Amino acid sequence: SDYNRGTTDGTVNPDKHYSIQRFGLTYWPISNVAFKIDYGTHKTESAEDKKTLINVGVGYNF
């Protein structure tokens, strides 16, 4: 995404135009605790600069 939509020549910087894909799962062993994991990719249009992300989290509801 390019948050600067006010470009003067109508072009978008390929380093700032990217796509994100994300997939995740959440597991609640009990109602107050959650375990989360997600997998994602972040790819720019300018080059083969593709990042792979794996995030893990734990949540507690009190």
User: pTM, whole model, 2 decimals?
Assistant: 0.57
More confident residue, 40 or 20: 40
Q: Is residue 27 part of a domain?
A: yes
User: Who contacts 48 (Cβ-Cβ below 8 Å, separation ≥6)?
Assistant: none
Query: Which pLDDT value is given to residue 56?
Result: 97
Q: Is residue 7 part of a domain?
A: no
Number of other residues whose CB lies within 10 A of the CB of residue 7: 10
What is the H or E stretch that residue 45 is in? Answer: none
Query: Which pLDDT value is given to residue 4?
Result: 59
| Span 21-62, pLDDT tens digits | 899 999 999 999 999 999 998 887 766 778 889 999 999 998
Q: Is residue 13 part of a domain?
A: no
Q: Is residue 2 part of a domain?
A: no
What number of CA atoms fall less than 13 Å from residue 47's CA on the CB side? 3
Query: Which pLDDT value is given to residue 57?
Result: 97
The pLDDT of residue 2 is above 60 = no
